[in-house]
Amino acid sequence: MRFLDAAYAAARARWQALETSPIPVFFVGAATCGRAAGAGETIERLRGELQARSLEAQIIETGCLGPCSLEPLMVVHKPGAPRICFGTVGPNEAVQILRRHVLGDDPCAEWALGRLDPDSLDGIGAFADHPMMRGQVRRVLKNCGLIDPENVDHYLARDGYRGFLRALEIGGDEVVDAVRRAGIRGRGGAGFPTWRKWATCRETPADQRYLICNADEGDPGAFMNRSLIEGDPHAVLEGMLIAAVALGATQGYIYCRAEYPLAIARLKVAIAHMRALELLGDNIQDSGFSFDIEIKKGAGAFVCGEETALIASIEGRRGMPQPRPPFPAVSGLWGKPTIIQNVETLANLPLILRHGPEWYAEMGTASSKGTRTFALAGKVKRTGLIEVPLGTTLRQIVEEIGGGGSDGKPIKAVQTGGPSGGCIAADKLDLPVDYESLAQAGSIMGSGGMVVLDEDTCAVDLAKYFISFTQNESCGKCPPCRVGTRAMLYLLERIAAGEGQPDDLQRLEDLAVTVARGSLCGLGQTAPNPVLTTLRYFRQEYHDHVEKQQCAAFVCRPLLRHQIDAERCPGCTACIKVCPAEAITGLRGTPHVINQEACSQCGSCLSVCPPIYAAVYRTSGELTRFEERKRKAGAVVADALRPATESEDPEQWN
Amino acid sequence: MRGIEAASAVAEILSSYLPRRDNLIAVLQEIQDRHGYLSDDVLRALAGASGISENEIYGVATFYAQFRFQPPADHTIHVCQGTACHVRGAHRLLHDFEERLNIKAGEITADQKFGLERVACVGCCALAPVVLVNGTVRAGMKPKSVRGLLSQLGHAPNGTEA
């Protein structure tokens, strides 16, 4: 069973050659997020500069290393020096790093996030000690950002496919047992023990079983699966092989959403490499195990993340869910026993098989084992893809890894689990992140999206946002979801518009219970969670909307009034020029006035009023909010391509 | 595209697929990739060639948000409505695009130059808010960058050519 030996030897040699490369190597994070932050321009400029100087060097496009707010990221291997990871490397920084660090002896400490190798270097700490990395344990993501995801040698050299070889060696029964002892639970949301689902599937007599990888990461605010596939596709594919051995499945499908073109491209390349290594096909290396994988592209339907709807979609039908039971593990794709597993669950399997279940279960809590990746986003200083042991507290994640609220504002709540999850108020931040604790707080672990909210986020508006999402994505099959979410949205819109009735909150709660209990699938059953949790933790805000027509976050537009402070306004006409309603009058040099009858409260005036004047202020109910007046520190750049940085004022956003 | 032309276009696409029902969505995606949208003629031709009724094909195609039944505009702007984008002001962005283009999300300008769409989430949450311009992600958008972006694409505020 040592059929990959030759491939391993070659891969290790190539990897070693890369690690000790006599010419400089630039690893540029070029996943979707890196590209969006400008990695493409960085690479282009770097390539041009290398050519112009006739320098021999290698540029490798990697996946995401995690600290997305610091992208584009670049790891630089300079022969004879430790590898250094640099952040916010635009084209100019790349050229500087080349000149000063690679060709000179200045390690460009101003952009360095840390070194990846143990050898010390003046002024550069270890990357693992960077505040964003310190609290993390990167197991599933161990390759992400460090290897070329389109080069299977890199994966092999770092023990790739050894878990699969082990699975072949020990056989299906033992694999199931290892997964049981590891204690892993599904990472897709519900947290069902993986081995138990497998056992059901194995017990069902059938001539054919299917394995489906659910890469239909539809939760808004979640991007863990995308990053993982883009950065280390083979980890997921190896996980599929292992699950297939355990289940006796012969055909696998990856259902990936069409919004992730790069992930799909990476999977295609990786599957081709698997074929070349004969890791797919009939009777793989005379083991008697046959397996093949096909990619199915989703077409933009959130409900297809639900198991039975996903199956319908793979079968080429409308993606509408079916009542369960029968569960897919008994009767799924084309009526055959089918196991649907989340991307991250699958990527955990090689680790369990390689290192053993005991090693795996070292991390986590009594009932939630292992590590978990989260997509940290929203109003937090350091956004990105992180991985922590289960049981880590929300506070550690948001404050230590995330660095606290963006712009130093206090955190109001953390939203976990997307539209199926809920908001957890700031005073609950010491909650350990495990399946049970989050459920107790009214939320769910969900797929791993974690969106941080601050005082500029309105609880009512957020609930309205999620219900409008689920209402829009409801497939329409069952009335509790179809009609119920619509009725909830109607009430929330009314409250947000300041037209709520005193008993609307009660009505909303009653409806929420009906929708949760009566809906056919997970979409409807969990849709009320965002409403119920915001009602639970921020009820006063709802009351203020209804009774005082007041939105303390200054988000709900019908409850806002924009005004201009005559003493602050020098009459620069900036607001007059942009007002789409032509509601502002005044001559240059005299204070301007907003005609409230004509004003649509769009906030354009607020966003253009120069911070040195900050003359536009807002009122809502009993509240008045002035913007802080600021001295201009350098020109404000209105550049669509530049990502928001920490220093920029998010004040203007609401 | 007329009937015969549509039939040969469909036949060409179908030739690379096994005649299985589960390939329907992939075939529709490829048709849209090549022709920009799903026209009546093409869907009729597909029904004829595949044996799946036109009714059934429409049923599937209209279920999924990805499929279009009108030709796309020259430039399509998708404003991401993900949670992270939402809390960082995506609603303002969408509103700004709507006002400047004078259309609502889901519509196309009269000159066919701009189409405005919402997208649930493109998974670039760490760089929110983002928009997709013809499929390319633009990160860290601000309301004041809307005008610049549109004029880069040749939009003139009063309908005059830029």
Single out the residue of B59, B67, B86 nearest to residue A555, CA to CA: B86
* Residues of chain B with C-beta less than 8 angstroms from the C-beta of A264: none
Q: Do B119 and A451 touch (CB under 8 A)?
A: no
Count CB-CB contacts under 10 A for residue A10. Answer: 13
Contact A85, A112 (CB under 8 A): yes
Q: Among B66, B83, B145, which would you mutate to test the A interface (most chain A Cβ atoms within 10 Å of its Cβ)?
A: B83
Q: What DSSP character marks residue B110?
A: T
* Residues of chain B with C-beta less than 8 angstroms from the C-beta of A316: 20-25, 60
Q: Does B33 touch chain A (CB under 8 A)?
A: no
Q: Give the A:B interface size as CB pairs under 8 Å.
A: 188
CATH of B3-63, one of 3.40.50, 1.10.10, 1.20.120, 3.30.450: 1.10.10
A197 and A282 co-located in one domain: yes
Distance CA A467, CA A258 (A): 23
Q: Do B140 and A313 touch (CB under 8 A)?
A: no
Q: Rg of chain A's alpha carbons, rounded to an integer? A: 27
pLDDT digits (tens, 9 = 90+) for A239-259: 999 999 999 999 999 999 988
DSSP string, B49-76: HH---HHHHHHHHHHSTT--SSPPPSEE
Q: Which residues contact A207 (CB under 8 A, 6 or more apart)?
A: A336
| pLDDT of res. A38 | 93
Q: Do B120 and A469 touch (CB under 8 A)?
A: yes
**Exposed/middle/buried for residue A593 (C-beta within 10 Å: 0-12, 13-18, 19+):** middle
A138 lies in some domain: no
Q: Does A194 touch chain B (CB under 8 A)?
A: no
Enclosing H/E stretch for B125: none
- Separation in Å, CA of B54 to nearest CA in chain A: 13
Q: Which residue in the set B81, B92, B141 is minimally distant from A220, CB to CB? A: B81
Joined together, the tokens standing for residue A652 give 């203007």
| pLDDT of res. A39 | 95
| pLDDT of res. A56 | 96
- Separation in Å, CA of B23 to nearest CA in chain A: 6
* Residues of chain B with C-beta less than 8 angstroms from the C-beta of A226: 123
What sections of A97-189 are H helices per DSSP? 131-134, 152-157, 162-182
- Separation in Å, CA of B13 to nearest CA in chain A: 17
Contact A388, A394 (CB under 8 A): no
Q: Do B125 and A642 touch (CB under 8 A)?
A: no
A22 lies in some domain: yes
* Residues of chain A with C-beta less than 8 angstroms from the C-beta of B78: none
| pLDDT of res. A633 | 52
Name the residue range of residue A181's domain: 155-361
A166 and A297 co-located in one domain: yes
Average pLDDT, chain B: 90
Q: What angle do CA A296, A297, A303 make, to 5 degrees?
A: 105
A646 lies in some domain: yes
Pairing of strands A338-342, A210-215: parallel
A145 lies in some domain: no
A465 and A353 co-located in one domain: no
- Separation in Å, CA of A69 to nearest CA in chain B: 6
Q: At what angle do helices A162-182 and A194-203 cross, to 10 degrees?
A: 100
A446 lies in some domain: yes
Q: Which amino acid is at A138?
A: R
Q: How many residues does chain B have?
A: 162
Q: Do A220 and B82 touch (CB under 8 A)?
A: yes
Q: Which residue in the set B120, B140, B143 is minimally distant from A642, CB to CB? A: B140
| pLDDT of res. B123 | 81
Tell me the three state secondary structure of residue A29: strand
pLDDT digits (tens, 9 = 90+) for B46-71: 999 999 999 999 999 999 999 999 99
Could you tell me if residue B154 is left (phi over 0), alpha (psi between -120 and 50 degrees) or otherwise beta? Answer: left
**End-to-end distance of chain A based on CA atoms, in angstroms?**
61
- Separation in Å, CA of A654 to nearest CA in chain B: 6
Q: Do B29 and A297 touch (CB under 8 A)?
A: yes
A206 and A276 co-located in one domain: yes
A237 and A350 co-located in one domain: yes
Contact A492, A508 (CB under 8 A): yes
Tell me the three state secondary structure of residue B19: coil
* A421-to-A444, A445, A477, A554 alpha-carbon distances in Å: 5, 7, 22, 24
A234 and A273 co-located in one domain: yes
| pLDDT of res. A397 | 97
Q: Do A643 and B139 touch (CB under 8 A)?
A: yes
pLDDT digits (tens, 9 = 90+) for A121-178: 878 999 999 999 999 999 999 999 999 999 999 999 999 999 999 999 999 999 999 9
Q: Which residue in the set A376, A465, A640 is minimally distant from B148, CB to CB? A: A640
pLDDT tier, B158 (very low <50, low <70, confident <90, very high otherwise): low
Pairing of strands A74-77, A561-564: unpaired
Contact A561, A620 (CB under 8 A): yes
Q: What DSSP character marks residue A547?
A: I
Of chain B residues 86-105, which have a CB less than 8 A from chain A? 86-89, 92, 95-96, 99
A441 and A476 co-located in one domain: no
Enclosing H/E stretch for A505: helix A504-518
pLDDT block averages, 10 residues each, chain A of length 654: 85 96 96 92 97 96 92 95 95 96 94 91 90 95 96 97 96 97 91 95 96 93 94 98 97 95 97 96 93 96 95 97 95 97 97 97 95 95 95 96 92 94 94 93 88 94 95 96 98 97 96 97 95 96 97 95 96 90 92 93 88 95 92 44 38 37
- Of A422, A454, A486, the position where a domain reaches its end is A454
| Closest residue on chain B to A377 (Cα) | B126
Could you tell me if residue A369 is left (phi over 0), alpha (psi between -120 and 50 degrees) or otherwise beta? Answer: beta
A136 lies in some domain: no
Distance CA A654, CA A379 (A): 13
- Separation in Å, CA of B69 to nearest CA in chain A: 14
* Residues of chain A with C-beta less than 8 angstroms from the C-beta of B69: none
Of chain A residues 291-320, which have a CB less than 8 A from chain B? 296-302, 313-320
Of chain A residues 433-492, which have a CB less than 8 A from chain B? 449, 451, 453, 456-457, 462, 465-466, 469, 473, 475
Distance CA A176, CA A199 (A): 8
Question: What value of ipTM does the predicted structure carry?
Answer: 0.90
Of chain A residues 549-588, which have a CB less than 8 A from chain B? 580
Q: How many structural domains compose chain A?
A: 5
Single out the residue of A371, A374, A366, A365 nearest to residue A352, CA to CA: A371
Q: Do A318 and B60 touch (CB under 8 A)?
A: yes
Contact A33, B126 (CB under 8 A): yes
A330 and A411 co-located in one domain: no
A176 and A125 co-located in one domain: no
Question: Which residues are paired to A292 by β-bridges?
Answer: A251
Distance CA A444, CA A422 (A): 7
Joined together, the tokens standing for residue A360 give 């795996």
A47 lies in some domain: yes
Single out the residue of A46, A104, A105 nearest to residue A75, CA to CA: A46
Contact B149, B133 (CB under 8 A): yes
Q: What DSSP character marks residue A617?
A: E
Single out the residue of A441, A518, A434 nearest to residue A480, CA to CA: A518
- Of A454, A480, A509, the position where a domain reaches its end is A454
Assigned architecture for domain B75-152: 3-Layer(aba) Sandwich (3.40)
* Cα B50 from chain centre: 25
A443 and A577 co-located in one domain: no
- Of A332, A361, A390, the position where a domain reaches its end is A361
Cite the beta strand spans of A116-239 per DSSP E: 210-215
Assign residue A536 the CATH number of its domain: 1.20.1440.230
Joined together, the tokens standing for residue A29 give 């994070």
Distance CA A281, CA A272 (A): 12
A337 and A388 co-located in one domain: no
Q: Among A456, A641, A645, A648, which would you mutate to test the B interface (most chain B Cβ atoms within 10 Å of its Cβ)?
A: A641
pLDDT digits (tens, 9 = 90+) for A175-219: 999 999 999 999 987 789 999 999 999 999 999 999 999 999 988
**End-to-end distance of chain B based on CA atoms, in angstroms?**
32
Domain assignments of chain B as residue spans, ordered by start? 3-63, 75-152
Distance CA A84, CA A86 (A): 6
| pLDDT of res. B121 | 84
A366 lies in some domain: no
Assign residue A572 the CATH number of its domain: 3.30.70.20
* Residues of chain A with C-beta less than 8 angstroms from the C-beta of B144: 607-608, 638
A85 and A126 co-located in one domain: yes
